[in-house]
Homo-oligomer: A and B are copies of this chain.
Amino acid sequence: MAERNYIFDTIRSVFRSFGYSQIETPAMENLSTLLGKYGEEGDKLLFRILNSGDAFAGVDESKPLVSQICEKGLRYDLTVPFARYVVQHRDEISFPFKRFQMQPVWRADRPQKGRYREFYQCDVDVIGSKSQLCELELVQIVDEVYRRLGINVLVKINNRKVLSGLAEICGAPDKVVDITVAIDKLDKIGLDAVKAEMLEKGLSAEAVALLEPVLTLSGSNAEKIAVMRGLMSSSEIGLKGLDELEELFGFIADAGISTPCEIDLSLARGLNYYTGAIFEVKALDWEIGSISGGGRYDNLTGIFGLADMSGVGISFGADRIYDVLKGLDKFPAGLGSASRLLFANMGETAYVLPIASALRAAGASVEIYPDVSKLKKQFDYADRKGIPFLSVCGETEAASGQVQIKNLATGEQVSFSKDDLPGILAFIGEN
C-alpha cells in the first residue's frame, strides 16, 4: 500500500504539473454502457449487480433473466466510463479536456497469480484537440514519471496511419494486422521467414518486395521517416501519418526530452481503436512487458453520440511498475515504516507526550507505545513495523530532562536535551 501510494503520488504530481485534473467516476455503470465495448470475452468478465429491491418482481421468465434482474455492472476499465463522462458533461467541460483517473476496475477472471479481480488502472488523456503537442505532452509525462521513479525506459512510437499507408501501397488495405504481425516477428524469425509468411497471408510478391525497405528500416527516426516517405508518396493517409510522426519527433527534440524515443512499426497495441500515434514504454533494465502504453483515438465518444472528438491517452501499469521498482530495488528506503521514532512506554506519559507532539509539529512521524509492557515486547513492535529509532524515557530521563534515542539498525545511542528538537530531528533523519 505504501509502495503503491509512492507510485501514484509520483505519477499524480507529474500529471498535475502539466495541468491535468483528477476525476473519478462511480464504480457502477449501466450495463448498457459497458456491454459490447470489450468484445464477447469482455462481456463475460463483467461483474453484474443485482437490482436492489425485489430484483425478480415482474420478471418475464420467457426472456433471458440476467438482463432483467441486473441493470448495473462494475466498471471494467477507465476508458469507457471516461467516454461516457465526457459525453454526459460535454456542456460543463472546457475542451481540450486534460484529465487523469486512478481507480480500481473489476474483471471476473479466474483469480490466479498476478491476476486480480480488482486492480488499479491509471489513465491520463487529453480529449478535444488534434495537435501533436498532446502526443508530446504524454511523452514528456512518461519521461518525467520514470525519471522521478528512477526507471530507465525506451518509448516506442508508431502511427496507425503509417500502417494503413503501408497496407495501401501493398494493395491490401485489409491486411494491416498481418503486415504488423509479420514485422513484429522480424527479430525472432529473420527476414526470409517474415517474407514467406507475408506471401502465405496472401500478399503479392510485388507487395512483399515493396515492403522490404520497411522491414530492414534502420538509422535515426528522421532517416526512417525519409525512407518511408519515399515509399509512400502515393498514399495520402500514409503521408499524413509520417507528417504526424515528423512533427512529434520535432517537438520531442524542441522539448529536450532525454528518454530515448524510437519509431517501431511493429507496435500494434490497440490497433482496433487507435487512429494515430501508438505508444509503448519498455523498462530497459528489467525484463517485463510494456509498463505504459496508449495512443490516439478519433472516435472514443462516438459510440455515446458525441462525434469528432479526437483524444490521445496513455495508461500507466501500476502493477508492473511496482514489479520493476521491486526488482531493481528502487523504492526509497523507509516507505513501509509509518514512523521514524517509537517512544517506549515506561509510564512517563506526562513527560513524553509534549515531546512527541513537538516532534510531530516539526514534521516527524512519531508514535508512543500505548501500553506499559515489557521492553522486549515494545522493541519487537518497533522491529516488526520497521520503525528505525527507539527512545526509552524512564524516571531518570524525565527527572533530568533528557531523551535517549537509539538507532535500532546501528545500535548507536545518543542523549539529547528534551528541548533540542533540531538535534533529535537530525538524528532520526527528519530534518
Residues of B with C-beta under 8 A to A17:
360, 363-366
Q: Is A188 an interface residue (CB 8 A)?
A: no
Residues of B with C-beta under 8 A to A380:
94
Residues 339-356 of chain A: 1 if any B CB is under 8 Å from the residue's CB, otherwise 0? 100100100011001100
Given A22-B2, A338-B20, A350-B254; A47-B55 close (CB under 8 Å): no
Residues of B with C-beta under 8 A to A384:
94
Q: Are B28 and A50 in contact (CB under 8 A)?
A: no
Within 8 A of B (CB), among A358-381: 360, 363-368, 370-371, 380-381
Within 8 A of B (CB), among A12-60: 16-24, 26-28, 44-45, 47-50, 52-53, 55-56
Size of interface on A: residues with Cβ below 8 Å to B: 75
Given A129-B370, A134-B370; A354-B254 close (CB under 8 Å): yes
| Copies of chain A in the complex | 2
Distance, CA A136 to CA B354, complexed state (A): 13
Residues of B with C-beta under 8 A to A65:
56
Within 8 A of B (CB), among A91-118: 94, 96, 98, 104, 106, 108, 117-118
Q: Is A66 an interface residue (CB 8 A)?
A: yes
Q: Is A255 an interface residue (CB 8 A)?
A: yes
In the assembled complex, the CB of A168 is this many whole angstroms from the nearest CB of chain B, namely 28
Contact of A133 among B53, B137, B349 (CB under 8 A): B349
Residues of B with C-beta under 8 A to A66:
50, 55
Contact of A256 among B52, B256, B354 (CB under 8 A): B354
In the assembled complex, the CB of A60 is this many whole angstroms from the nearest CB of chain B, namely 15
Residues of B with C-beta under 8 A to A130:
371
In the assembled complex, the CB of A116 is this many whole angstroms from the nearest CB of chain B, namely 8
Within 8 A of B (CB), among A121-147: 126, 129-131, 133-134, 136-137, 140, 144
Q: Are A365 and B18 in contact (CB under 8 A)?
A: yes
Q: Is A385 an interface residue (CB 8 A)?
A: yes
Q: Are A367 and B22 in contact (CB under 8 A)?
A: no
Distance, CA A365 to CA B18, complexed state (A): 6
Distance, CA A104 to CA B103, complexed state (A): 11
Q: Are B21 and A50 in contact (CB under 8 A)?
A: no
Considering the complex, give the chain B residue whose CB is closest to the CB of A364: B17
Distance, CA A23 to CA B1, complexed state (A): 6
Given A345-B133, A365-B19; A118-B26 close (CB under 8 Å): yes
Contact of A27 among B18, B24, B104, B360 (CB under 8 A): B104
The SS class assigned to the A binding surface is mixed
In the assembled complex, the CB of A27 is this many whole angstroms from the nearest CB of chain B, namely 6
Residue among A48, A251, A387 with max Cβ neighbours from chain B (10 Å): A48
Considering the complex, give the chain B residue whose CB is closest to the CB of A352: B254
Q: Is A357 an interface residue (CB 8 A)?
A: yes
Distance, CA A44 to CA B53, complexed state (A): 7
In the assembled complex, the CB of A131 is this many whole angstroms from the nearest CB of chain B, namely 4
Residues of B with C-beta under 8 A to A21:
1-2, 338
In the assembled complex, the CB of A19 is this many whole angstroms from the nearest CB of chain B, namely 3
Given A24-B1, A370-B126, A370-B131; A338-B16 close (CB under 8 Å): yes
Q: Are B19 and A371 in contact (CB under 8 A)?
A: no
Considering the complex, give the chain B residue whose CB is closest to the CB of A94: B384
Q: Are A131 and B371 in contact (CB under 8 A)?
A: yes
Q: Are A367 and B26 in contact (CB under 8 A)?
A: no
Give A residues with C-beta under 8 Å from B: 1-2, 5, 16-24, 26-28, 44-45, 47-50, 52-53, 55-56, 65-66, 69-70, 74, 94, 96, 98, 104, 106, 108, 117-118, 126, 129-131, 133-134, 136-137, 140, 144, 251, 254-256, 338-339, 342, 345, 349-350, 353-354, 357, 360, 363-368, 370-371, 380-381, 384-385, 387
A-B contacts, 17 of them at CB < 8 A, read A1-B22, A1-B24, A2-B22, A16-B365, A19-B366, A21-B338, A27-B104, A27-B118, A28-B117, A45-B52, A56-B65, A129-B370, A130-B371, A133-B371, A251-B349, A254-B349, A254-B353
